[in-house]
Structure 1
Amino acid sequence: MAVTASLVKELRERTGLGMMECKKALVETDGDIDKAIENLRKASGLKAAKKADRTAAEGVVSAKIAEDGSYGVVIEVNSETDFVARDENFLGFVKQVLDRAYAEKIADVSQLMSGELENARQALVQKIGENIGVRRLQMVKPESGVVGTYTHSNNRISVLVELKGGSVDLAKDIAMHVAAVNPPVVRAEDMPQDVLEKEKDIIRAQPDMEGKPAAIVEKMMGGRIAKFLKENSLLDQPFVKDADLTVGKLASNAGAEVVNFVRYELGEGIEKQESDFAAEVAAQVEASKT
């Protein structure tokens, strides 16, 4: 069967792939469009597997909550470059992922990415040419209260805040504070002991501690640890929109209690690989020959 321009156009519309790739697939199947699609899907899985070991530390984070604040989800989807993170096809895939996690209340990546979404991811890898991955997600479902969300305009920080009592708007305001200030814990008593011990070691090493009696050192230590906890505990921090109020006071004034928060920052914890640009281009040229 002849491979016509209209056949190539139809395959492009059905797959979203480039003209030359579609034409090649049709030539290989003698114009059988269904067979061409099947082969392209197989190829997309192979291509996705080949790119799976490449570091994907760019992308977006995104969140969605129920209108009544009864539950919410936050996700991180990664690409290799910031350019792809702004691509409409990538953002469309992110929306698919978020919508499914929200609609089906899924809190496990492997469960979320079973079936159609994994096929969509592999097809996107083939189309865009970068490693794409759903890195993590989390659901917050208050037992008695609400959840609010704030996502920074660049889609690199997204927060869910769970309140006991209060309102979605209050939770959103506190989520904005968490996004901006990045407190490690909700309350001072939540601070991990190993973090406190490291801070004490730092304080002991300060020049003004040298040569002082142990009792004086301990007294100074107590004051500085108290200051450290106050600065790093959400409830004790001055609220970003009104420094005369602490976040704890803001919540209590509204008859609410902050239960927990989830803060996702894009790429946190991912070790980015630094590569030689010329070598990378040469490797890509060589790979294109195979």
Structure 2
Amino acid sequence: MAAITAAMVKELREMTGAGMMDCKKALAANDGDMDAAVEFLRKNGQAKAEKKASRIAAEGLVKTVISGNCAAVVEVNSETDFVAKNETFQAYVAEVAAQAVASDAADMDAFMEEAWNADPSKTVKEALVEKIAVIGENLKIRRFEKLVEDNGCIVEYIHMGGKIGVLVDIESDVVNDAVKEMGKNVAMQIAALSPKYIDRSEISEEYIAHEKEILMAQIQNDPKESQKPAKVIEGMINGRINKELKEICLVDQVYVKAEDGKQTVAKYIDEVAKANGAKISVKKFVRFETGEGLEKKSENFAEEVAKQMM
């Protein structure tokens, strides 16, 4: 009988998504033959995820959870929006979020190898493979992030039933309903306008320089603007940079609920801080949007239903 090595087990796991012990048994039962072991696992229903692994999973759900001074946000993808609305899938995503908020994993690889809290006899990856078999679509735990705040509070916001999820880490020496409401309003702002930074201090000089290069090239390619004096062109570039920074920096954005249409987020936070005798700042925010940056396939509802019936 051929010796079964750890490398062989690892390779089979990566090919099929089956559990470590199942892979070891499959290799042993087939004298180390990798192809035969894959077939063995498929016949035993332990590699059902294999044929689904190449499918695009760009729909799904974002879920947030807060536990004490900790919070987590996760994105779990499915192939179709039909499955994303399924109660079994939604319950699974809630379990993944609960796993994330209790996790000490520094990255996704470590997270996937953790014991699954809902059933410690399995890893997170093994539980995912089982769920793929149950639901019948390729699923993917795409990302997670965890926040901890000891001097303030963390506020969550879910938009459109899980299409967008936001966590806001508020540092404050006063934590009351007014401060939490302010945090929720800021989270809604982030969901709606998707800032990239909290304030300008987070933006590198390299980024500014790169944006100026692009703006200069645009001006030079414009027959009218390129003929303007150097000082005028410099002023135009700085003006356009400032306009862009107001759009991508949270505290510089116009607050979406501002009655006058002019109040910035920074002024809104200061207003709440003054009213509550507090020192308040946004330390960090996380915004996940389902399928962001992923290729999505176009399907109609009838096709989705038909696939679920197969």
TM-score norm. by structure 1 comes to: 0.73
**Would the alpha carbon gap of residues 43 and 79 (structure 1) be closer, same or farther in structure 2, given more than 3 Å must change?**
farther
Could you give the per-residue CA deviations for residues 88-131 of structure 1, whole angstroms, max 9, x where no partner exists? 11111111111122234555433333343333322221122211
Could you give the per-residue CA deviations for residues 194-247 of structure 1, whole angstroms, max 9, x where no partner exists? 543453344331445220121221122222212221222110112112244311
Number of the residue aligned with 1:241: 257
Distance 1:42 1:96 in 2: 29
Name the aligned partner's letter for residue 241 of structure 2: I
On the 8 A contact 1:161/1:171 being kept in 2, the answer is yes
**Would the alpha carbon gap of residues 135 and 164 (structure 1) be closer, same or farther in structure 2, given more than 3 Å must change?**
same
Number of the residue aligned with 1:121: 128
SS for the counterpart of 2:189 is helix
Distance 1:124 1:263 in 2: 26
On the 8 A contact 2:42/2:48 being kept in 1, the answer is no
**Would the alpha carbon gap of residues 84 and 192 (structure 1) be closer, same or farther in structure 2, given more than 3 Å must change?**
farther
Alpha-carbon distance, 1:64 to partner: 0.9
How large is the Cα RMSD of the aligned pairs?
2.9
- Give the percent of matched residue pairs that are identical in Structure 1 and Structure 2: 38
Number of the residue aligned with 1:264: 288
Distance 2:82 2:104 in 1: 30
Q: Does 1:97 align with 2:109?
A: no
Number of the residue aligned with 1:147: 154
Name the aligned partner's letter for residue 293 of structure 2: G
TM-score norm. by structure 2 comes to: 0.68
State which drifts further: 126-135 or 204-213. Answer: 204-213
Number of the residue aligned with 1:25: none
Distance 2:41 2:136 in 1: 14
- Mapping for residues 12-161 of structure 1, pairs under 5 Å: 43-66=44-67, 70-104=69-103, 106=105, 108-114=107-113, 115=115, 116=122, 117-161=124-168
On the 8 A contact 1:161/1:261 being kept in 2, the answer is yes
State which drifts further: 257-266 or 224-233. Answer: 224-233
On the 8 A contact 1:107/1:138 being kept in 2, the answer is no
**Would the alpha carbon gap of residues 197 and 182 (structure 1) be closer, same or farther in structure 2, given more than 3 Å must change?**
same
On the 8 A contact 1:188/1:230 being kept in 2, the answer is no
Name the aligned partner's letter for residue 227 of structure 2: G
The answer for unaligned runs of 5 or more in structure 2 is 1-39, 116-121, 274-278
Alpha-carbon distance, 1:40 to partner: 8.9
Distance 1:145 1:105 in 2: 21
Number of the residue aligned with 1:9: none
**Would the alpha carbon gap of residues 41 and 119 (structure 1) be closer, same or farther in structure 2, given more than 3 Å must change?**
farther
Report how many residues are paired.
239
On the 8 A contact 1:63/1:158 being kept in 2, the answer is yes
From 227, 230, 233, give the equivalent of 1:211.
227
On the 8 A contact 2:41/2:47 being kept in 1, the answer is no
Q: Does 1:223 align with 2:239?
A: yes
Name the aligned partner's letter for residue 53 of structure 2: A
State which drifts further: 166-175 or 125-134. Answer: 166-175
Number of the residue aligned with 2:14: none
Alpha-carbon distance, 1:154 to partner: 2.7
The answer for unaligned runs of 5 or more in structure 1 is 1-38
Name the aligned partner's letter for residue 214 of structure 1: A
Q: Does 1:177 align with 2:195?
A: no
Distance 1:252 1:41 in 2: 60
Distance 1:157 1:44 in 2: 34
SS for the counterpart of 1:180 is helix
- Mapping for residues 162-173 of structure 1, pairs under 5 Å: 162-165=169-172, 167-173=179-185
Alpha-carbon distance, 1:42 to partner: 7.8
Distance 2:105 2:66 in 1: 13
On the 8 A contact 1:52/1:131 being kept in 2, the answer is yes
Distance 1:146 1:245 in 2: 24
